[in-house]
Structure 1
Amino acid sequence: MLSTEETDRIIEMAWEDRTPFDAIKIQFGLSERQVIELMRNNLQRKSWERWRTRVQGRKTKHVAQRVEEVDRFKCTRQRVISSNRIAKRVNKKSL
Structure 2
Amino acid sequence: MPAELTPQSLADLSRIIEMAWEDRTCFEAIELQFGLNESAVIALMRRQLKPTSFRMWRKRMAGRRTKHAALQGSTLMRHRATHSRP
Cα offset for 1:78? Answer: 4.4
Determine the structure 2 residue equivalent to 1:25. 31
Q: Residue type of the partner of 1:50?
A: M
Given candidates 32, 39, 42, the residue that maps to 1:36 is 42
Q: Distance in 2 between matches of 1:67 and 1:40?
A: 29
1:20–1:60: 8 Å Cα contact kept in structure 2?
yes
Q: Distance in 2 between matches of 1:34 and 1:73?
A: 19
> Does residue 73 of the first structure (1) align with residue 78 of the second (2)?
yes
Structure showing the higher helix proportion among its residues: 2
Q: Residue type of the partner of 2:52?
A: K
Distance 1:76 1:43, change over 3 A: closer
Distance 1:11 1:76, change over 3 A: closer
Cα offset for 1:74? Answer: 2.4
Would you identify which runs of 4 or more consecutive aligned residues in structure 1 move more than 2 Å? 70-80
- The gaps in structure 2 that reach 5 residues or longer are none
Normalization by structure 1: what TM-score? 0.73
Cα offset for 1:77? Answer: 2.7
Determine the structure 2 residue equivalent to 1:15. 21
CA offsets per residue over residues 40-77 of structure 1, 9 Å max, x none?
A: 00000000000000001000000001144x43522463
